[in-house]
Amino acid sequence: MSGPSDYQPSNPALQWIERRLPIIGLVHSSFVVYPTPRNLNYWWTFGAILSFMLGMQILTGVVLAMHYTPHADLAFKSVELIVRDVNYGWLLRNMHACGASMFFFAVYVHMLRGLYYGSYKEPREVLWILGVIIYLLMMATGFMGYVLPWGQMSFWGATVITNLFSAIPYVGESIVTLLWGGYSVGNPTLNRFFSLHYLLPFLIAGVVVLHVWALHVAGQNNPDGVEPKTEKDTVPFTPHATIKDGFGVACFLLLYAWFIFYMPNYLGDADNYIPANPGVTPPHIVPEWYYLPFYAILRSIPNKLAGVIGMFSAIIILCFLPWLDAAKTRSSKYRPLAKQFFWIFVAVCILLGYLGAQPPEGIYVIAGRVLTVCYFAYFLIVLPLLSRIETPRPVPNSISEAILAKGGKAVASVAIALVAAGALFLGSLQDARASEGSDRPPGNKWSFSGPFGKYDRGALQRGLKVYKEVCSSCHGLSYIAFRNLAEAGGPGYSVAQAAAFASDYKVKDGPNDAGDMFERPGRPADYFPSPFPNEQAARAANGGAAPPDLSLITKARSYGRGFPWFIFDFFTQYQEQGPDYVAAVLQGFEDKVPEGVTIPEGSYFNKYFPGHAIKMPKPLSDGQVTYDDGSPTTVAQYSKDVTTFLMWTAEPHMEARKRLGFQVFVFLIIFAGLMYFTKKKVWSDSH
Amino acid sequence: MNPDASTIAAGAPIEVDLTPVAEGQDIKVFWRGKPIYISHRTKKQIDEARAVNVASLPDPQSDEARVKPGHEQWLVVIGICTHLGCIPIAHEGNYDGFFCPCHGSQYDSSGRIRQGPAPANLPVPPYQFVSDTKIQIG
Ligand code: FES
C-alpha cells in the first residue's frame, strides 16, 4: 500500500488483470516484499491475531444472523434454539461469544504494546488515532451484541448504558428516546441494535484497512524504537512475518479453543440465562469484563454527569497520547522510569476492572476513586512530566546493532504469562456474584465435569423420573422436546421409548376445522408442557413467586467464587457452580430456623438460598420416588440425579462439545508445533 | 428513529383501581413500558416526608407538590432510578422509601432522592383521580 509496485506477474492472464487493476501488485508490495523490522517480538503478532479475530467474528456472526430472530418475545428462545437445534449451533455461538472476549483481550494487548514501545509517536499519530477509533467501534459493537440474546443482563445492561446519554444537559432525554425508539428499552431497541450490530463490524473492517494503510506508509515501529536504516535492518514480510504471525495465531487459537470448548460460560454472567424481565432489576448489574475498568470509573464519581464525562474521557484521552507524551525516545526499553510507570498503569487498569465487578459500597468505592485518579494522572501528569525529567538510556544506532547486543532472549514464556494475566483479569467477573450472606454450596463430584466429562446415563434417566413425578407439578421444562430424550449425549432412550414417553402427555393443539382447540397425545416433536398457562397464573398459584422454568436453571444460577478461586477455576475447568448450587438448594431445607434469621409467612428456611427465605416448600423426601435400578432412594441421591438431568437440559450437546474440543486441541498443538519449527527454519539466517 | 405511531398509541392513558391496595402496601403497574409505583402511604411515612427541610434536599421539592391535594396518602411515581434507569425496590433503604440496587441510590417516602449518585427525584407521572378510588395515569 505504499507507492506503486513494479511487480509483474509471469502468467499472461494475471498480467492482463494486473494492467487493468494492479491488485496483485498491491498485495505483493504490502504483504510479500514489504520490509518489516528484523527485531519484532511476539507482541507484534497481535495485529495479525486481531485481523483473524475480526474475520472470525464476521463469519460466525453472519451464520448466526441467519438463525436469529430479533424480536423481544422470541430473541431469547431463538438463541437457545440455535444452541440446541442448529447443526453445530452451539459451536457457532460459543465461537462468537467467546470470540468477542478474545477480540477484546487481543486488542488490549495490542494497545498496551503500543503504549509500552511508544508506537503512537511521530510519525504514527494518525495510525494510533485510527486504532482508537477502531476500539471505540468495537466497544459499541460488543455492547450491542451483548444485548441481542435478550437475557436479564442484556436488558439491564442496555438500560444502564443507554441511560448514560440522559446525563447530557437539555438534549439527553430526547437522545435516549431516539436510541430506544420507544419510552423504554423494548422491541424497537432490540431491532435497531441488531441492525447496527450487523453494520458496525464492516465499518470496523473499513477502518482497519485505513489502519493498515497508515501502518504501511509510516512503517512498523519495533521494540527498540529506531527506524530501520539499511537493508540489514529489515526482512521481507513473507515468509518471515507471515510465518511468525501464523505461529502467533496458532498459539492464540489454543487459548481461544480453551474457552470455546471447555469454559464457554466462564466469561459470561449466569443472569443472562434468565429471559429479560422489564419488571425486575438483577441485584447486581455487571457489564462484560472488557468494559469493567470504565464502569468502575463511572461509578466512582458521585455525580451523574461528571461520572459519564469521566468514563468517556478515559477513552478519548488516548487520542491525545501522542502529544501528552513528548519524550523523544520511543521504546520504554530505554526509559527506566517510564517502564516502571507503565507497569503501574497496567496494574491500575486491572484493579479498576476488578472493582468494576464489585458491589458499589464501602472500601470498593474509595479504592475506585483512588484508582480513577491514578488512571488520569498517568496520562495528564506522569507522561508529560517524564518527558521533561527522565534521562533515557542510550538508544542503539540501528536495529542490527540492537539485535547483536541482545543475543537471543527467550520469549517462550510470553504465552504462559499471557494466559496467567488473562485469567486474572477476565476472571474478576466471576467474583461479581456476591454470596449475599448465604453459605457456600458444597462441591460435588459430577460425572460431567472436566475435559472428558460425560453424563451418567443412569442418573439422567432417574433424574427424568424425579422431574416427572415431583418437579413438573410446578416447574416447566419448555426448551426440551420429547425427541431430545432419544438424542445422542442424552438419557440414552431409543426413539420408540421417547415416542411412548411423549404419548403419556396430553398436548393442546388446534384450532381444528371447527375452530376449536383440542387435546391429543404428545408426539416426539412436542415440547414438555408447562404446568401453568402463563407466568401470572404460576405466580398466583404459588404465593407470589413464580416457579422458574428449569430448562436452563443450572446455567442461570451461580454463586460467587471469590478471589483467588476464579483464577484456579480457569485452569481446573471448574464450571459446575450452577449444578452445585441447585443440588445444595434441594438439600438445604432445615426445619429449625437459626437464631437471628426471620422467615416471612409462607416461606421456608433454606441454608443455601440467597437471603435464606425460599417460597418453595421442601420438594424431596426419602423414598418419595421409586427407582427400579436399585439406587438409594434418598434425598441426596434424588438431588444428584435431578441436577444431572437438569444440567443435560441446560446443555444437551455438552458431550459433543468436550469431545470435539479434545480433537481440536490435538490438532492445534501439532499445528502450532509445526508452525514453530517452520518459523525457526525461516528465521534461521536472520538472527 | 423516534417512536413509531403504534408505540405512541400504545402509550395512551390507563386507569388503575386503588381499592385493593391496603395502607402500607404498594402496587406496580406498567405504563409506556415503565413501572409505576402506586403506594398507599402510612401516617408515619407522610409525616416523615413532610418533616424534612426541603431546602436541604439534593433536588428540593416539597411532599405537597408531589401528591394530589386531598389524596396525600397516595404516592404515584415512575419507578425508574434517575441515575441509570434500574428499578428501585420499595420499602427498602434508610428513608422508608425506595432503594436502588444498582448503584445504591436511596429515595424517601415521597420518592425524593436522599443519598447516592442519582441526580433527581423519582418523577411523578401525569395522573389524576377520576374518583376517590380510581386514578388515570397519562
Ligand atoms: S441506576 Fe439507580 S443508582 Fe444507578
How would residue A421 be classed by pLDDT, with cut points 50, 70 and 90? low
Interval B105-131 mean pLDDT: 89
The pLDDT assigned to A435 comes to 39
Do the domain assignments include residue B9?
A: no
Q: Is B91 a catalytic residue?
A: no
Interval A535-545 mean pLDDT: 81
Nearest residue of chain B to residue A192 (CA atoms): B1
Instruction: For A158-186, write each residue's pLDDT tens digit.
Output: 998 998 898 888 998 899 999 999 888 99
CB contacts, 8 Å: A309 with chain B: none
The pLDDT assigned to A408 comes to 45
Interval A197-224 mean pLDDT: 95
3-class DSSP string for B68-81? CCCCCCEEEEECCC
Number of the ligand 1 atom closest to the C-alpha atom of B116: 3
Any ligand 1 atom below 6 A from CB of B116: yes
Number of the ligand 1 atom closest to the C-alpha atom of B104: 3
Whether A436 has a pLDDT exceeding 80, the answer reads: no
Query: Where in the sequence is the domain holding B121, given as residue range(s)?
Result: 20-137
Interval A111-134 mean pLDDT: 95
Binding-site residues on chain A for chain B (CB distance < 8 A): 156, 159-160, 162-164, 166, 177-178, 180-186, 188, 192, 278-281, 283-285, 299, 302-305, 307, 360-361
Query: Strand pairing partners for A481?
Result: A527
How would residue A97 be classed by pLDDT, with cut points 50, 70 and 90? very high
CB contact under 8 A, B28 and A279: yes
Instruction: For B41-53, write each residue's pLDDT tens digit.
Output: 998 889 988 888 8
The pLDDT assigned to A415 comes to 55
The pLDDT assigned to A437 comes to 45
Do the domain assignments include residue B4?
A: no
Element (H, E) at A342: helix A336-356
Report how far apart, in Å, the C-alpha atoms of A250 and of each of A45, A245, A254, A262 are: 11, 8, 7, 18
Query: Residue A160 is nearest to which of B2, B33, B84, comparing CB atoms?
Result: B84
3-class DSSP string for A386-452? HHHHCCCCCCCCCHHHHHHHHCCCCCCHHHHHHHHHHHHHHHHHHHHCCCCCCCCCCCCCCCCCCCC
CATH of the domain at B73: 2.102.10.10
Whether A3 has a pLDDT exceeding 70, the answer reads: no
Minimal CA separation from A48 to chain B, in Å: 38
A278 vs A150: CA distance, rounded Å: 11
The single-letter code of the amino acid at A476 is G
Do the domain assignments include residue B31?
A: yes
Do the domain assignments include residue B3?
A: no
Residue with the larger pLDDT of the pair B90 and A66? A66
CB contacts, 8 Å: A285 with chain B: 86, 102
CB contact under 8 A, B7 and A188: yes
Cβ contacts of residue A300 below 8 Å, gap of 6+?
Answer: A307, A355, A365, A368, A369, A371, A372
Number of the ligand 1 atom closest to the C-alpha atom of B86: 1
Between A and B, how many CB-CB pairs are < 8 A? 76
Do the domain assignments include residue B55?
A: yes
Do the domain assignments include residue B14?
A: no
A613 vs A593: CA distance, rounded Å: 10
Minimal CA separation from A573 to chain B, in Å: 30
CB contact under 8 A, A280 and B118: no
Q: Which of A355, A360, A349, A357 is nearest to A302 (CA)?
A: A360
CB contact under 8 A, B7 and A181: yes
Interval A393-418 mean pLDDT: 70
Binding-site residues on chain B for chain A (CB distance < 8 A): 1-4, 7, 11, 28, 30, 32-35, 80, 82-87, 101-104, 117-119
Are the C-beta atoms of residues A291 and A356 closer than 8 Å to each other? yes
Among B40, B71, B91, B103, the active-site one is: B103
Instruction: For A289-343, write each residue's pLDDT tens digit.
Output: 999 999 999 988 888 899 999 999 999 999 999 999 989 999 999 999 999 999 9
Query: Residue A164 is nearest to which of B11, B28, B84, comparing CB atoms?
Result: B84
Residue with the larger pLDDT of the pair A645 and A164? A645
Any ligand 1 atom below 6 A from CB of B84: yes
Whether A434 has a pLDDT exceeding 50, the answer reads: no
Minimal CA separation from B83 to chain A, in Å: 7
Nearest residue of chain B to residue A286 (CA atoms): B102
C-alpha cell at A556: 442461570
The pLDDT assigned to A414 comes to 57
Whether A432 has a pLDDT exceeding 50, the answer reads: no
Pick from A431-445, A489-503, A618-632, B94-108: least confident: A431-445
Instruction: For A672-687, write each residue's pLDDT tens digit.
Output: 999 999 999 999 877 6
How would residue A431 be classed by pLDDT, with cut points 50, 70 and 90? very low
The pLDDT assigned to A407 comes to 52
How would residue A286 be classed by pLDDT, with cut points 50, 70 and 90? confident
Instruction: For A131-159, write each residue's pLDDT tens digit.
Output: 999 999 999 999 999 999 999 999 999 99
The pLDDT assigned to A419 comes to 62
Pick from A120-124, A609-613, B29-33, B108-112: least confident: A609-613
Residue with the larger pLDDT of the pair A563 and A255? A255
Do the domain assignments include residue B5?
A: no
Residue with cell 477480540: A103
Degrees to nearest 5, angle at CA A326 with A323 and A328: 135
Give strand ranges (E) for B1-138: 14-17, 26-31, 34-40, 74-78, 89-92, 97-99, 106-107, 113-115, 127-131, 134-137
Residue with the larger pLDDT of the pair A598 and A519? A519
The pLDDT assigned to A359 comes to 79
CB contacts, 8 Å: B98 with chain A: none
What total number of domains does chain B contain? 1
**Residue whose CA lies nearest to ligand 1 atom number 3:** B103
For residue B6, the Cα-to-chain-centroid distance in whole angstroms is 26
Interval A472-501 mean pLDDT: 93
CB contact under 8 A, A188 and B103: no
CB contact under 8 A, B117 and A182: no
C-alpha cell at A670: 501439532
Share of chain A above pLDDT 70, in %: 94
A341 vs A240: CA distance, rounded Å: 33
CB contact under 8 A, B117 and A303: yes
How would residue A659 be classed by pLDDT, with cut points 50, 70 and 90? very high
Do the domain assignments include residue B2?
A: no
Whether A650 has a pLDDT exceeding 90, the answer reads: yes
